[in-house]
A = this chain, B = another copy of it.
Amino acid sequence: MSLAYGRPYLAIPGPSTMPDRVLAAMHRPAPNIYAGEIVDMLAGIKPDLRRVARTTQNVAIYIANGHGTWEAANANLFSRGDRALVLATGRFGLGWAESARAMGVDVEVIDFGLSHPADPARLEAALRADTDRRIRAVLVSHVDTATSIRNDIPALRAAMDAAGHPALLAVDAIASLGCDVMEMDLWGVDVLVSASQKGLMVPPGLGFLWISDRALAACHGSDLRTPYWDWERRVGAAEFWQNFCGTAPTHHLFGLRESLTMILDEEGIEAVWARHARLSAAVWAAFETWGIAGAGAGCDIALNVADRRYRAASVTAARIGGGGAERLRAWCEAEAGVTLGIGLGMAEPRSPAFGDFLRVAHMGHVSAHMTLGVLSVMEAGLQALGITHGAGGLAAAAAEIARGGQVGGQAGGQAGGGQAAE
C-alpha cells in the first residue's frame, strides 16, 4: 500500500507544473504555417514576451533549451577571443561560462561559492582592473537553479555603472522569469536569457532572448554568430518562418499563448511575483522551524542561503545531513506522490555528501494547496524516517499562507492570528 497513488506531484525546479490549459492548447492538429491563426498569434506573443520581462526592447524566440539559449546569447555577444566576465553562484553560472569558453570566448570567472550571492564590490573592482576594456559582457544568473541563490541585479548594474565600464550586462533568468521580480529595462539589463519550462509553464523546447537596443547595435558584427543563433535575423524577421529560422514550433507557441494570457491578463505579472514570494516564504518558514533545534539536538537541516534577501522565489535548496535529503526524497516519492529535486553541484554526484542536499521547487503554476502539500509530505517523511527536526514547521508555513490571505496580499499587523488554543 502506498499513499503515492493519486495525481503525482513534481516539485523539481523545472520542468514545472504546467496548467491543464497549456497542455490542452497544445493538443490540436497542426496549423498552416504560411498564413492564418498561428501567424496572427505570433503578433501578440512577441509584445507579451516583452511584458513578462518588463522591457520595450527586442525579443527573439529559439527552438532550443536553456543551454541552447546560452549559446545563442554567446554567439551574438562575442567574437572569437572577446573576453567575458562570469559571476558564478552555482553550477549553472559555471555552465554558461563553460559554454562561452568552448565557443572560443576568453572567459574570466569570479566564483562566489555555493551559498552567497555575487558581490557588487568585487564586480566593480574587476571592471576597474580591466583598463583596456577587453571585457565585452558580464554574465550572471539571476537565480542559479542549483543553489537557489538570487543575485541582486540592480546592485550589480550599479557596480558596472560605478566602474564606468561599457561591458554589456547579460542575465540568465531561466529559473526566475515569471517567479521573481524582473525589470529588464528598469534594471539596465542588456541581454536577458530564459526558457519555457519554468515560470512560463510550458514544456521544455523554447528559449528566449531579450536584447536591449544597445546590445543589438553593439553586437552587430560578432563573428561567432551562425544563421540559427543570429538574433538580428529573428528580431528583424520579415516573414513568419524567419522568426524561427525555419519551421515554427507550432505546438509550443499554442501553449505559450495560453500561458502568457494566464500570467499577464488573468493573474497579472505583479500578482504572480507576489504569489511566488509568499509561497517561498512558507517553504522557508517550514525549513527554518525544522532546522531550529540546532546541532545540540542533532538536527542537521538548513536552507542553503542564509540571508533571505538572496533566496529565490522559485526554488529552495536545502541540506538535510547524514544522507537525510536523499532518504527523504525517496520516501516522498514512494510513499506520498511527491518528487523533490536532487541537489545539484553541491557535492560530487556519487559521493556520500550528495545525499545531503535537495531542492524544493515552487515555480510556475503553484498554489498554496500544492506547496503546503509538499511541505506536509516532507514533514510526514521526516517523522517516518526518524530524522530529527524542530516541531511546528507546518504550522509556521501555514501562518505564512494565512498572512497572504490579507487584503492586498500584504501582511497586516495583527492579521491572521487564528488563536491556537492549547
Contacts and interface: CB of A to CB of B under 8 A. Distances in A.
A246 B68 contact: yes
Contacts of A222: none
Contacts of A418: 382-389
A23 interface: yes
A368 B246 contact: no
Given A68-B63, A395-B395, A398-B379, A5 B272 contact: yes
Contact of A394 (B23, B204, B395): B395
A56 interface: no
A234 B408 CA distance: 43
B65 A244 contact: yes
Given A5-B267, A227-B71, A248-B204, A420 B15 contact: no
10 contacts: A6-B368, A18-B29, A32-B339, A63-B205, A65-B244, A204-B248, A204-B251, A375-B376, A376-B398, A394-B395
A275 B367 contact: no
A4 B32 CA distance: 15
Nearest to A28: B20
A418 B318 CA distance: 19
Nearest to A196: B247
Interface string A349-378: 000000000000000111111101111110
Contacts of A293: 421-422
A195 interface: yes
A340 to B, nearest CB: 10
Given A65-B249, A368-B380, A372-B376, 20 more contacts: A1-B408, A1-B409, A5-B271, A5-B275, A23-B26, A63-B68, A63-B204, A65-B245, A65-B247, A67-B227, A99-B226, A293-B422, A298-B421, A299-B421, A336-B367, A337-B367, A337-B368, A377-B401, A385-B416, A390-B421
A336 B30 contact: no
Interface string A171-213: 0000000000000000000000001010000011100000000
A198 to B, nearest CB: 9
B250 A15 contact: yes
A373 B375 CA distance: 8
A131 interface: no
Nearest to A255: B251
A406 B384 contact: yes
Identify the interface centre among A16, A246, A381: most chain B CB within 10 Å of its CB: A246
A247 B394 contact: no
A8 interface: yes
A12 B33 contact: yes
Given A197-B247, A380-B372, A30 B1 contact: no
A19 interface: yes
A124 to B, nearest CB: 30
B421 A391 contact: yes
Contacts of A270: 1
Interface in A66-114: 66-68, 71, 75, 98-99, 102-103
Nearest to A67: B246
Identify the interface centre among A5, A23, A422: most chain B CB within 10 Å of its CB: A5
A117 interface: no
A227 to B, nearest CB: 5
Nearest to A195: B247
Given A30-B197, A247-B195, A398-B380, A338 B15 contact: no
A318 B386 CA distance: 32
Given A28-B24, A32-B10, A279 B383 contact: no
A121 interface: no
A388 B420 CA distance: 6
A335 interface: yes
A71 B71 CA distance: 13
A405 B417 contact: no
